[in-house]
Structure 1
Amino acid sequence: MKTTRKREFLRQMDQVVPWKELEALMAPHMPSPGPKGGHPPYPVSVLLRIHFLQLLLALSDPAAEEAFDDVPAFA
């Protein structure tokens, strides 16, 4: 697989960000699935990574959603 700038950026982000520690801080504040079912909440790791990408790349919510649909490296 070719190493693109986006893939390299994500690799570097994984090396720098203390994901496990941040996930542990956020986990107690995340919603749990409701008794009536519905969509289960996204995992903390996914939400945290999306948030970081939005901040670092200055993406709005719709732009982040589009990036995840268009760019396989972000998924």
Structure 2
Amino acid sequence: MKQQTSFADLEYSARRKPTRREKFLTDLDRLVPWPQLVALIEPHYYRGERGRPPVGLETMLRMYLCQNCLGLSDEGIEDAIVDSIAVRRFVGIDLIE
């Protein structure tokens, strides 16, 4: 499902040259077989029977992969999601919701 475009997304898409991080994450998104990876991990992923509901598996997997490739800590990936539109798009998080 396509989300409504925000003003920040419109401003960001008007840029002419993509950043190195954006190119890297676009290539990574294209190369990783997401459905197969999710299907492999899903039987072992926390189902949320108690406590807080879990974050979606693909979102969490994208966060971990991005965190590992960019050499970020847990707090670093949280900051990158807030600060970087390229990371936010790769992970699939919309800050408006």
Q: TM-score range by the shorter chain?
A: 0.7 to 0.9
CA RMSD of aligned residues (A): 1.5
Q: Which residue of 1 aligns with 2:29?
A: 14
Count of matched residue positions in the alignment of Structure 1 and Structure 2: 73
TM-score calculated relative to the size of structure 2: 0.66
Identical pairs, percent: 37
Counterpart of 1:5 (choices 15, 20, 35) is 20
Q: Larger RCO: Structure 1 or Structure 2 (Cα < 8 Å, ≥ 6 residues apart)?
A: 2
Structure 2, gaps ≥5 residues long:
1-12, 89-97
TM-score calculated relative to the size of structure 1: 0.83
- What do residues 13-51 of structure 1 show as CA deviations (whole Å, max 9, x unaligned)? 01211111111011111122326xx53211111111111
| 22, 42, 45: which one aligns with 1:30 | 45
Specify every segment of 5 or more residues in structure 1 that has no aligned partner in the other structure, as ranges: none
